[in-house]
Amino acid sequence: MKGKSWKALAIMLLPALALLAYTPLGLDAEDNTCFRPGFLQQHANVVPVWLAGAKPSYVIVDPYDGSVEEPWTLEDLAMLRDGGCRVIAYLNVGCAETWRGYWREEWNTQLPEWIGPENPDWPGEYYVKFWREEWQEILLGELDEIISMGFDGVHLDNVDVCEFWRENGVSDADKRMITLVETISTHAKSRNPEFVVIANLGGAMELILSKRFLSAVDAVKREDVWYSDDVPIPPEENAETLELFRHAKRSGKLVFVLDYLWTPSHVEDFYEKCGRESFLGYAAPSNELNRLPESLPIYRSPCILDLDDGRIVVWSYRGPANRQPSLFEVYVGLLQPETGAISVIHSFNEDGRNLEPVSAAYNGETGLILVAWESRAGTNARSAHVEACLLRVKSQGVQVLKEISIPAQPSQQHTPSVAPLGDGFLIAYAGKTESGDTNIYA
């Protein structure tokens, strides 16, 4: 099928597929909203298509760590925006980071006077005298690059570094931070009036009481509000934080909450609390922000097969189902040409570890369909093997002719791809051996 036809068909299919993605076969969509985040944040191991498949309203990412640790591209940003997402770039305003492009080689032996001690919690990050012109020139240069790359906003991290400097003799550190945030916001919005500025406050929640500060930002954020490392925070310890966040809400600002937790009952409780407060929440499974939670609803782009008498759509869903944290299913649907609607005619159930797309092919000589996917069923989430199913589409549904499971040799098999070959099919996949070598098998 030509590129334009694919694009036109994809545009027609997306609304129906998005609905199916959140309503797996036989499941109640309303009963699964307890696992749906208000935003996502991931700084490493990013796969843009996975983020796009989750359809978040906002996603916060490192601008220089997109696909395969390369800077984000306009194509990747557009893919997320097509789902209604605003893509926000991370910017550390309170610490200089040794791995950034602005870090100079000579600083490894002699730090400039405006760079302070290393952050004991994050090796490679150094507190900076953020009010200094040298640092602000660096920040505005980074900000210009972020805007030029096409991001929709910026996430200002380590705003609470003002607490460190106040404790070390800079009595007006809070006012200096407010001035910096104003400078960043004014500069960004002069180039893009719709540019979103989010401030991660940490221990500097009292900045919310400043009218100048609230006028400069579109949203405020904090981590560890209700949970910290999957442990509930006592109500008396977050009462003041919640009151300040409510003040920000009344002032017309968005509120982002990121807690680190993974127990399903805790995740459900967290999102229910966010919902009651009208906060945007994200239950992150890792303090490193290097992976997505298994409870995240994700659908993968469809395989579209042209049959003699119609079109078949094959896609996958990974996410919550019936208030359980994760489910992985592969769907086969029949496209109704008159209405553009899709009716599900078969599904394959798996566990919830897989994120990879399915592959499908139609053999016109035999009238058969082969569907293949990467399976992570079982107790070992790192072990993967290829499973497939041979189908014949009939007027009333699908006839399963044969289920295929390729023995796990090598120990890890990934990303299968199928194609018709003569009167049969070819399955190719990447295999990773125990020694770490990767080969292609067919």
Same domain, 402 and 310: yes
Look at residue 8 and tell me if it is in a domain: no
Tokens of 54: 């989750």
**pLDDT for residue 105:** 95
Does residue 31 or residue 46 have the better pLDDT? 46
Same domain, 47 and 139: yes
Same domain, 333 and 273: no
Among 234, 260, 284, the domain boundary falls at 284
Does residue 175 or residue 411 have the better pLDDT? 175
- Looking at residues 359-380, what average pLDDT do you find? 79
Same domain, 167 and 310: no
Look at residue 243 and tell me if it is in a domain: yes
Q: With 60 as the cut, is the pLDDT of residue 410 above it?
A: no
Look at residue 433 and tell me if it is in a domain: yes
Same domain, 64 and 184: yes
**pLDDT for residue 353:** 58
Same domain, 148 and 120: yes
**pLDDT for residue 277:** 96
Same domain, 178 and 322: no
**CATH number for position 186:** 3.20.20.70
Look at residue 7 and tell me if it is in a domain: no
Same domain, 221 and 348: no
Q: Which of 5-14, 39-48, 293-302, 363-372 has the lowest mean pLDDT?
A: 5-14
Look at residue 290 and tell me if it is in a domain: no
Among 284, 307, 331, the domain boundary falls at 284
Look at residue 87 and tell me if it is in a domain: yes
With bands split at pLDDT 50, 70 and 90, how would you rate the model's confidence at 88? very high
Per-residue pLDDT reduced to its tens digit, 100-138: 999 999 999 999 999 999 999 999 999 999 999 999 999
Same domain, 333 and 256: no
Look at residue 293 and tell me if it is in a domain: no
Same domain, 240 and 340: no
Look at residue 18 and tell me if it is in a domain: no
**How large a percentage of the chain has pLDDT more than 90?**
48
Does residue 22 or residue 385 have the better pLDDT? 385
Same domain, 278 and 311: no
**pLDDT for residue 389:** 83
Q: Whole-number mean pLDDT of the chain? A: 84
**pLDDT for residue 289:** 92
Does residue 43 or residue 322 have the better pLDDT? 43
- Looking at residues 5-31, what average pLDDT do you find? 41
**pLDDT for residue 18:** 41
**pLDDT for residue 396:** 65
- Looking at residues 326-351, what average pLDDT do you find? 74
Same domain, 67 and 165: yes
**pTM of the model as a whole:** 0.75
**CATH number for position 394:** 2.120.10.10
Domains in the chain: how many in total? Answer: 2
Range of the domain at 137: 37-284
Q: Which of 98-102, 224-228, 393-397, 421-425 has the lowest mean pLDDT?
A: 393-397
Among 239, 257, 284, the domain boundary falls at 284
